[in-house]
Structure 1
């Protein structure tokens, strides 16, 4: 029989079960009574309404020990390190792979395929994790990822290589979203921002190791082994996390804590029908179709313009699917297990957080990628290696900033102030870019403005995601995380398309206008070849002056648009609710990072998400026997702990 459990924060931690050390800073103080309009979202959040994968994770986290949790996080660290190093390595192999098939010009097409899959694969993978379980979803992602490696290493044409990007990107984005969901499952709100930054830490090292590893692979073997080695490395890196989840799942099953199979006793048709509703299959189809049919035209049009009627038709159909999606999700009949829960749509913190994600990453793709490196090579005369390091300054600074901010959140117990300050710093940094990303500026001033933008990005990204997660019940936290990261990717794609449109509309025109008569006929060649633009003529020559002027004026336009689109982030941050995180129901159960979340039977009518509505002045003396320290209602959990967790 399924045990109905809930998370409570108590006045003082209960005596720890045998074998479990008392945590020093467990947030178990009584929760303050707050008005209903300040509560975070509760959407079909009773344990009985939670989907099977969520119930299984709650049972698992209630059974494992602190050692098991540490092993799981070791697995997360290994996966993060392996995938980070792989990305930094294989990104340097794409041009060699496509060149091997005499198709170097299709590098951009490969990027389009990756970008679309990275955006559309997050929602289905998060839904699979909710329906089937975290272990099953992780295993599926690793399998798909590995298939992508094998396809890339064995590809015999550019078509098979491009097709491999579908599996590769689906596996990559699946692991990305699942890691964030797992962190949300296994950390309390005070520690979640810090835990969410851990997968980014390997970048601080791998950004320097990856290119060197790629060079060594090319010198000693071939580009194929640059993909093939990860067929071995990634499954090995997944083993600690996989074993921790699998063994804890078996232990929970042995104690009868796992939910029964939802397909038990059903016919094939009934099982298929249930799966259709559990996965919200048509809703996911609408969402994926909308993203694909919007992203592909936006990306391709930034390169070739809007001359193709097919691109316009795709954009129209995609926009139609996107408009239909919320109406489908709002129907309890058509989408009883909606991917985007109805209550989340109405929550102002969620909507504001999604808006921040969209505009933040749109501005990122207008200021950092995709043309900043070209600008450095041409206007500033930087070498390829130095230009690459300057571009990476943003991510390097943002990673360090996010770690420090997460510690600030843990200390202050609030997140909104960091989002608001981060948006101001981010906007200010973009303004500095407009001022100092100019011909004649020193490298230090360019790097300095880059660091300010990175500081702001690190301050606002993680806390904004935390605010969205805090507004969701445990059943909905996977969907909230997936939507946040998906909207982030959509914003990046839109920013990429806008920057591409500005670039293609301005550079050719300005080159034709500024080039001296002797090089007027080379305008098209200069536009299409950054190496020719950077190295074809010496600094100070009339042609080079014309090229630099065209690049500089276009870059200033792009940065101006970046400042404009980043401005709404400041306004949106004001609409996020200022949750006090240690007074929030944690949405998690069992042993988690930050302490042991007490587990108790949910009473009818009580919510499992948001600030508690219990009086903060209640005491053990005036509490009813059923509520006193939740000891009776959590007896089954403690009994299990005594029997050998």
Structure 2
């Protein structure tokens, strides 16, 4: 192969040296893929997506009942924040593990963590155990999410990637309607614990075909001479640990996890503590978390301490990556202040909806966002553009937030509540997938796992921030307003109403029109308005941020992937001068202005 420019050769050598073992391994496996093995892999991933989609729909509706069983309904947001924190911090190490060890090994770890989380949630006897189980569950769920997207990025070109990424959202078209019925059946015939425990059996069984397919192709790649030896072979234990320390950017990820956890958790825990913000431990957590967050970027940009930083400095120079991750952050932040975690509780209490009806209304967003995401992914495939749909989606999403603020009130009809969810769902569907695609288009194959993980991490951080703010508002204003509005003879028992959703929504004890019911509805309605104001403010920056995205013409770009690729007419054997020059030009263009 001829090289026109010596600098291109240096870039190629540097790129090959930077490619980590897990990336080399999947590139080797990709070169040995057959059509049948790819079909098996995708069918299994779709089966797993159906299981996890149904699981998250079922269990999210059960969370208020689990926390109420421990008389701690107000800690719904704390549970959600824990999920959000772990969801954010688990993606970077999982992406790194996939790069360092391999895709199969990472899948096995996530399924194991997922199963442990199910078992612990089902067996928990107090809210602390239930909350700690979210660590394992969120690690498994989000590890699986990032690995699915990395696998798609490994096996598709840019024009087809949006569509195949969206395939894993297709199950939401039916699980959103099945879950409320399943929840009602579980609560009627068994207990909420079985709503968690059944998945510890189902998921590992569904994973078996994918594990077998990946393992067989690893062996085939080795027979064909494509496989790369382990980077740790022949090294001492100290050398292996040192290599892992830098390869996984262990301390950098620890700083990120500590910063997010110590800043967000006090927002939901402090209002529930004995002395609220006078509690010294809450103040200490915020101070330490803030200092850790300040230290984090300095660590990540140090070539000495973080030579293989999770946040590659070169990607942070790309305006598309920066704008795309900020869009993800504000998108999920607004979502977790409007739809989750308290909308379902609001429907049960203020709107007097049944478990099934409340669940169906809450899940309209998932359905209405899935259909547009499928449509837009097909449009991207045939037009080669993505940016226009991001801007359109962001405008619809912001409009939806405004409509929710206007029409989510006590007198709202079911049709109105559903309509507002449809609007923000359509906006989210046009927004989400194209943004991720644009961010991935800015990266090489070595960087695609990192940039995907960065994007998903900021998405989850936004959700955690939204949940934390929701929890702070809910935990502060609901008790205060209940004490203010409840009849004097009932006001002393406000903690019971606040701590157990079944007590607040019990229309037999507190019938419609009674002073107690009016007081409860007023307290929850006024607090919901505060949440929606926050959601509207969070969604506002999304529209202007879309203008900073680079308008890539995807059909003209060289595809930064190796081996058999869906949408590519031939197998690519690596190192291509045009790819290097084009990526250099795109990066230079993307960094300008």
| More helix, by proportion | 2
Q: Which residue of structure 1 aligns with residue 457 of structure 2?
A: 486
The aligned runs of 1:418-437 (5 Å cut-off) are 418-437=389-408
Q: Which residue of 2 aligns with 1:257?
A: 226
CA deviations over 1:133-180 (Å, ceiling 9, x no partner):
111111121223233344455667776655444333322221111111
Shift, 1:45, TM fit = 7.0
Counterpart Cα distance in 2 of 1:594 and 1:134:
21
- Aligned equivalent of 1:292, options 248, 261, 282: 261
- Shift of residue 588, structure 1, vs aligned partner: 1.3
Q: Are 2:61 and 2:180, in contact at CA under 8 Å, matched by a contact in 1?
A: yes
Q: Which residue of 2 aligns with 1:269?
A: 238
Aligned to 1:588: 561
Using the TM superposition, name which of 582-591 and 209-218 deviates more: 209-218
Q: CA 1:438–1:368 in 2, change beyond 3 Å: closer, same or farther?
A: same
In the alignment, which of 537, 557, 561 is matched to residue 534 of structure 2?
561
Q: Deviations 1:387-407 (Å, cap 9, x if unpaired)?
A: 221111111111122111211
The answer on whether the counterparts of 1:69 and 1:591 sit within 8 Å (CA) in structure 2 is no
**2:368 aligned with 1:400:** no
Question: Structure 1 residues 131 and 214, CA, compared in 2 at 3 Å: closer, same or farther?
Answer: same
Consecutive unaligned residues in structure 2, runs of 5 or more? 4-10, 587-593
C-alpha change, 1:280 and 1:174, in structure 2 (3 Å) is same
**3-state SS of 2:564 partner:** strand
CA–CA distance in structure 2, aligned partners of residues 438 and 96 of structure 1: 24
Aligned residues: 575
Distance in 2 between the 1:352 and 1:378 partners? 39
Structure 1 unmatched runs, 5+: 7-41, 614-645
Deviation, 1:585, is: 2.2
CA distance in 2, matches of 1:152, 1:102: 16
SS of residue in 1 equivalent to 2:311? coil
C-alpha distance 372-85 of structure 1, shift in aligned 2 (>3 A): closer
- The separation in 1 between residues aligned to 2:494 and 2:66, in whole angstroms, is 30
How do 1:200-215 and structure 2 match up within 5 A? 200-213=169-182
Change (3 A) 1:230 1:520: closer
Residues 480 and 45 (structure 1), Cα distance of their counterparts in 2 relative to 1, 3 Å cut: farther
* 1:245–1:5 Cα change, 3 Å: farther
Q: Are 1:576 and 2:529 matched, yes or no?
A: no
The match for 2:362 among 368, 376, 391 is 391
Match of 2:16 among 39, 44, 47: 47
Match of 1:319 in 2: 290
CA shift, 1:372, in A, is: 2.0
TM-score, normalised by the number of residues in structure 2: 0.88
Using the TM superposition, give the Cα deviation of residue 515 of structure 1 relative to its aligned residue in structure 2, in angstroms.
4.7
CA 525–151 in structure 1, closer or farther in 2 if over 3 Å, else same: closer
Q: Residues 306, 464 of structure 1: CA spacing in aligned structure 2 closer, same or farther, 3 A cutoff? A: farther
Give the Cα separation in 2 of the matches to 1:189 and 1:378. 46
Between stretches 491-500 and 541-550, larger displacement belongs to 541-550
How far apart, in 1, do the equivalents of 2:233 and 2:492 lie?
73
2:385 aligned with 1:414, yes or no?
yes
> The residue matched to 2:290 in structure 1 has which SS?
helix
Contact 1:45 1:608 in 2 (8 A): no
Structure 2 residue corresponding to 1:120, chosen from 89, 97, 102: 89
Contact 2:73 2:498 in 1 (8 A): no
Please report the RMSD computed on the Cα atoms of aligned residues, expressed in angstroms.
Answer: 3.2
What does 1:67-466 correspond to in 2, within 5 Å? 67-91=36-60, 111-152=80-121, 162-213=131-182, 227-301=196-270, 303-304=272-273, 305-466=276-437
* Cα distance change, pair 299–516 in 1 and its aligned pair in 2 (3 A): closer
* Residues 404 and 532, structure 2, Cα contact 8 Å, conserved in 1: yes
Q: SS where residue 591 of structure 1 aligns?
A: coil
Q: Indicate if the aligned counterparts of 2:68 and 2:500 stay in contact, CA closer than 8 A.
A: no
Asked if structure 2 preserves the Cα contact closer than 8 Å seen for 1:183 and 1:196, the reply is: yes
Q: Which moved more, 1:233-242 or 1:184-193?
A: 233-242
Aligned partners of 1:563, 1:320: CA distance in 2, in Å? 29
Q: Distance in 1 between matches of 2:303 and 2:158?
A: 30
**Counterpart-to-counterpart distance in 2, 1:471 and 1:435:** 39
Matched with 1:550 is 523
Show CA shifts across 1:21-43 (max 9, x none): xxxxxxxxxxxxxxxxxxxxx99
Moved more, 351-360 or 283-292: 283-292
Asked if the contact 2:351–2:410 (Cα under 8 Å) also holds between the matched residues in 1, the reply is yes
Whether contact under 8 Å (2:78, 2:265) holds in the other structure is no
Q: TM-score, normalised by structure 1?
A: 0.81
**Secondary structure of the structure 1 residue equivalent to 2:310:** coil
Aligned to 1:21: none
SS in 1 for 2:47: helix
> Which deviates more from structure 2 when the two are superposed, residues 181-190 or residues 214-223?
214-223
**CA distance 1:539–1:597, change in 2 (3 Å):** farther
